[in-house]
């Protein structure tokens, strides 16, 4: 179990930072369809990272993960049960690339952990990756997502996340959120009241979300019933049972 305290957290729109009790320092940021992570380990020959394919909050119906070459992992997971509703399952595809070779790997299928296993399937599929962090304790990971295919996730990654510059990606995310939050200017009141207002506005802007791939992605999409994706961004509508969580409360 990952352990940490909130006093060691730092979060802002488009960025999250936490120092775990194990001494691992984690920094996360994102673009619309990709993520960039920085893991700084204590110096060790056995730095590990878990990719939990079955870790959806609503559980997974099926999942598959595979190590490709020395620095890449790809796969997919099918989930659903949103608001305890058994209809409308979806599949999300992932392509993850690391800045250094994966030295060790083990595969978990929900029952057995296979040392050296490079692929796994099932609703509890997971991979344990090992890195040598003795000389350089930092491991970087770029992750592309797609509701179309692994190839679509890889294209999104190449289109939106071409460097390992986590501070640059963070600044771009900050600018994007400042543009969105800056559409409404408020004055008067206390600092706390201003913080409450912009926190509520941030929550309201968390939905709807981008669903489509990049313009060059013309594959057919399983997640929306094998219909072709439009050239422009496809935006998912609001989820009814999440509206109360994303919209500002009214008195």
Q: Are 126 and 52 in contact (CB under 8 A)?
A: yes
For residue 99, give the nearest of 149, 133, 59, 148 by alpha carbon: 133
Distance, CA of 75 to CA of 96 (rounded, Å): 9
Q: Which of 90 and 38 is assigned the larger pLDDT?
A: 38
In what helix (H) or strand (E) does residue 95 lie, and over which residues does it extend?
strand 90-98
Task: Give the three-class secondary structure for 7.
Answer: helix
User: What are the extents of the domains in the chain?
Assistant: 6-162, 170-246
Give percent of the chain above pLDDT 90.
Answer: 68
pLDDT at 86 over 80: no
pLDDT at 170 over 60: yes
pLDDT at 212 over 70: no
Q: What is the CATH number of domain 6-162?
A: 2.70.98.10
Q: Residue 85 has what pLDDT?
A: 62
Average pLDDT score over residue span 160-179:
94
For residue 136, give the nearest of 72, 22, 42, 24 by alpha carbon: 42
Report the residue count for the chain: 251
pLDDT at 1 over 80: no
pLDDT at 227 over 90: no
Q: Residue 58 has what pLDDT?
A: 77
| Confidence category of residue 236, pLDDT binned at 50, 70, 90 | low
Q: Residue 208 has what pLDDT?
A: 73
pLDDT in tens, 111-136: 999 999 999 999 999 999 999 999 99
Verify cis geometry, omega within 30 degrees of 0, for the bond prior to 208: yes
Average pLDDT score over residue span 192-200:
94
Angle between helix 166-181 and helix 191-204 axes, rounded to 10 deg:
100
pLDDT at 87 over 90: no
Q: Are 221 and 211 in contact (CB under 8 A)?
A: no
């Amino acid at each position: 179990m990952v352990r940490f305290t909130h006093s060691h957290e730092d979060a802002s729109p488009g960025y999250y930072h936490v120092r775990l009790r194990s001494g691992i320092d984690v920094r996360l940021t994102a673009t619309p369809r990709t993520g960039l992570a920085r893991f700084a380990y204590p110096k060790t020959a056995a730095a590990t990272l878990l990719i939990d394919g079955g870790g959806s909050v609503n559980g997974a119906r099926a999942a598959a993960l595979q190590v490709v070459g020395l620095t890449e992992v790809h796969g997919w997971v099918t989930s659903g049960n949103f608001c305890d509703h058994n209809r409308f399952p979806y599949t999300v595809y992932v392509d993850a690339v690391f800045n250094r070779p994966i030295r060790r790997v083990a595969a978990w299928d929900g029952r057995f952990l296979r040392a050296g296993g490079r692929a796994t399937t099932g609703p509890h599929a997971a991979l344990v990756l090992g890195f040598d962090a003795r000389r350089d304790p930092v491991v970087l990971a770029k992750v592309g997502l797609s509701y179309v295919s692994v190839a679509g996730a890889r294209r999104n990654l190449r289109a939106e996340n071409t460097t390992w510059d986590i501070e640059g990606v963070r600044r771009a995310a900050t600018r994007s959120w400042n543009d969105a939050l800056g559409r409404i200017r408020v004055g008067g009141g206390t600092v706390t009241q201003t913080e409450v207002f912009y926190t509520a506005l941030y929550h309201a802007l968390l939905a709807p979300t981008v669903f489509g791939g990049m313009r060059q992605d013309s594959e057919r999409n399983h997640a929306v019933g094998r219909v072709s994706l439009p050239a422009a961004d496809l935006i998912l509508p609001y989820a009814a049972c999440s509206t109360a969580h994303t919209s500002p409360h009214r008195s």
